[in-house]
Amino acid sequence: PAAPVHVPGTNRPPSAARVLPLNAMIRHILLLNIDEGAEDRVISELFATLEKCHETVDGFMGMKAGKNLFPQTSGKGFNYACTFDFLNAGARDMFLDSKEWTGVYEQAMPLVSGGEDGVAVIDIEI
């Protein structure tokens, strides 16, 4: 099984690779509360950088990102979302341990309102 991977600034539990079948595709869902004062250009550059990561990380199938379009206020302050599709939990862990992700993480966190409270992550099998 894959070894646990540490995401900077979090206390993420050990890898789901220990409990999922090796062939289980993963959708990694990231919700962000980006500061309303953040420039659209900076946010677009952040997402473009993330999208390029699938070219360099094996098993990273692709991602989508954008602003929350849901008209009701049930979003708990999360105004942006990203979904990342991975071949399996091991590929997800390789991405989360990559220098590409670390760089994007460091670029994104100053844009997030509330620090770690402005971030939520879940994974589902697809």
The pLDDT assigned to 23 comes to 76
Under the banding of pLDDT at 50, 70 and 90, the label for residue 17 is very low
pLDDT at 29 over 60: yes
Q: Look at residues 4, 10, 29 and name the one whose alpha carbon lies nearest to residue 109.
A: 10
Sign of CA dihedral 43, 51, 26, 110: negative
Mean pLDDT (the chain) is 84
> pTM for the whole thing?
0.78
22 compared with 1, residue with greater pLDDT: 22
Query: In this predicted model, what pLDDT tens digit does every residue of 57-116 receive, in sequence order?
Result: 889 999 999 999 987 766 788 999 999 999 999 999 999 998 988 999 999 999 999 999
Strands of the sheet containing 60-67, edge to edge, are: 60-67, 80-86, 26-32, 119-125
Which pLDDT score is estimated for 10?
44
Per-residue pLDDT tens over the stretch 45-73: 999 988 888 888 889 999 999 999 987 76
Band the pLDDT of 33: cuts 50, 70, 90: very high
